[in-house]
Structure 1
Amino acid sequence: MDKHKLIALPIAILVVANMMVPSFALADEVNANKGLGLGRENNKGSSFCVRLVEKDERFEKNYAEKEAKLSSERNENDKERMGRRADADKRREDRKVKVDNRVANRYQKLYEEIAKTDAEKLAVTTFKTVVETALTAKRTSVDAAIAAFKTAVDTATTARRTAIDAARTAYQTSTEAALKTAADQCAAGTASAIVRTNFQTLIKTAKDKFEADKAAAPKVGVDVSALTEAKRTALEKAQTTFQAAFEKAKADLKAAFGTNQPV
Structure 2
Amino acid sequence: MCELLALSANTPTDMTFSFRGLARRGGATGDHGDGWGLASFDPSGGGVSIYREKEAAAFCPLAAQVADLNLKAHCSIAHIRKATKGEVALENCHPFHRRWGGQDWVFAHNGDIHESLPPGSTYLPLGSTDSEAAFCWILETLSAAGLSPNNEQGLFEQLVRCSDELAAMGIFNCLISNGAWLFAYASTKLHTLTRRAPFTTATLADDDLTLDFSQLTTPDDVVTIVSTAPLTTNEHWRALEPGEALLLNAGEVIRQHRGR
TM-score, scaled relative to structure 2: 0.18
Indicate the structure whose relative CO is greater, using CA pairs within 8 Å and at least 6 residues apart.
Answer: 1
Higher relative helix content? 1
Give the structure with higher Rg (CA): 1
Higher relative strand content? 2
